[in-house]
């Protein structure tokens, strides 16, 4: 039975996608680090502005100490959930938090629970 207070089925599915992405402690840590990229990643080694373009996956990989393929898979999961956006700079992929989407998630969660 659905009431007006129940979230729409598509919103519930979107919330579940975000929860699944955040259920992994490494992905959660990565999202937290991306909140302040200048603090957590070597700006002097960046080929693009981390605040504007995002952090290169190679810098993420160096900090977390996992294989590049694992980091790429983790970042792809965060991107599918809408929590980060990717930008290509040459042959490198950079990731940045999607603050609008994160704000939507927080608001939708507040309305749903």
pLDDT number for residue 103: 95
pLDDT number for residue 18: 94
For residue 69, tell me if it sits in a domain: yes
Q: Which of the pair, 23 or 13, is modelled with greater confidence?
A: 23
Spatial distance between the Cα atoms of 82 and 42, rounded to a whole number of angstroms: 25
Q: Give percent of the chain with pLDDT exceeding 90.
A: 65
Three-class SS of residue 59?
helix
Domain that holds residue 96: 9-112
Q: Which of the pair, 32 or 41, is modelled with greater confidence?
A: 32
Per the prediction, the chain carries an average pLDDT of: 87
**Inter-axis angle of helices 57-64 and 25-35, nearest 10:** 120
Q: Count H helices, E strands: the chain? A: 6, 3
Domain count, the chain: 1
Whether the pLDDT of residue 113 is over 70: the answer is yes
pTM, 2 dp = 0.84
For residue 4, tell me if it sits in a domain: no
Kindly report the CATH number assigned to the domain that includes residue 25: 1.10.10.10
For residue 1, tell me if it sits in a domain: no
Q: How far is CA 20 from CA 15, 61, 85, 104, in A?
A: 9, 21, 17, 16
- Contact assessment for residue 47 and residue 91, using Cβ atoms and an 8 Å cutoff: no
pLDDT number for residue 2: 43
pLDDT digits (tens, 9 = 90+) for 37-62: 989 987 676 677 777 889 999 999 99
Whether the pLDDT of residue 13 is over 90: the answer is no
């Amino acid at each position: 039975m659905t009431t007006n207070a129940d979230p729409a089925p598509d919103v519930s599915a979107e919330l579940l996608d975000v929860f699944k992405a955040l259920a992994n402690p490494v992905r959660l840590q990565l999202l937290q680090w991306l909140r302040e990229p200048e603090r957590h990643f070597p700006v002097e080694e960046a080929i693009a502005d981390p605040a504007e373009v995002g952090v290169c996956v190679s810098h993420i990989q160096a900090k977390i100490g996992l294989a590049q393929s694992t980091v790429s898979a983790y970042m792809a999961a965060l991107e599918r959930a809408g929590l980060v956006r990717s930008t290509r700079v040459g042959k490198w992929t950079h990731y940045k938090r999607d603050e609008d989407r994160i704000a939507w998630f927080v608001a939708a969660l507040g309305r749903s629970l």
